């Protein structure tokens, strides 16, 4: 069974053809991994791309829908010290990232995942 829309896909109409979700990835000096997920259609979701500091250390030319995977140089140093996420991507799919019992990073696409609390 297919889904039909009279005036096109409603998601594309509301976002002007840009992807719905922003996914940001960052790692601390201690090795902790953080993933941010922002739904552009949510009234409460938000994300800070650049941390405070001089604009010299900001990531230039941030654009909606443009992926970025060069947050560290060949020596693993941060390319932009004010950039909050070393890598980010945009996607229309609702992806839930989590670490499984074997320590593997897992991406569950369009299937919800309940994150543990108090960890």
Q: What is the pLDDT of residues 66-96, one digit of tens each?
A: 888 888 888 888 888 888 888 889 998 899 9
pLDDT of residue 119: 64
Is residue 28 in some structural domain? yes
Domain that holds residue 52: 10-93
In the predicted model, is pLDDT for residue 1 greater than 70? Answer: no
The 8-class DSSP code of residue 93 comes to: S
pLDDT of residue 77: 82
In the predicted model, is pLDDT for residue 48 greater than 70? Answer: yes
Number of domains forming the structure of the chain = 1
In the predicted model, is pLDDT for residue 51 greater than 60? Answer: yes
Question: Residues of 75-86 as b/e, b for ≥16 C-beta within 10 angstroms?
Answer: eeeeebebbbbb
Question: What does pLDDT average to over the chain?
Answer: 80
pTM passes above 0.85: no
Is residue 51 in some structural domain? yes
The mean pLDDT of 52-67, rounded to a whole number, is 78
Q: What is the C-alpha to C-alpha distance for residues 50 and 94, in angstroms, rounded to an integer?
A: 24
Is residue 110 in some structural domain? no
């Amino acid at each position: 069974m297919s889904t039909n829309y009279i005036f096109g896909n409603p998601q594309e109409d509301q976002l002007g053809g840009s992807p719905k979700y922003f996914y940001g990835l960052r790692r601390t000096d201690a090795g902790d991994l953080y993933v941010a997920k922002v739904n552009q259609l949510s009234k409460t979701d938000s994300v800070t791309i650049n941390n405070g500091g001089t604009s010299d250390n900001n990531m230039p030319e941030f654009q909606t829908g443009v992926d970025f995977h060069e947050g560290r140089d060949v020596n693993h140093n941060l390319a932009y010290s004010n950039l909050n996420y070393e890598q980010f991507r945009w996607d229309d799919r609702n992806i839930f990232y989590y670490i499984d019992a074997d320590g593997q990073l897992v991406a569950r696409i369009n299937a919800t995942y309940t994150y543990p609390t108090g960890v």
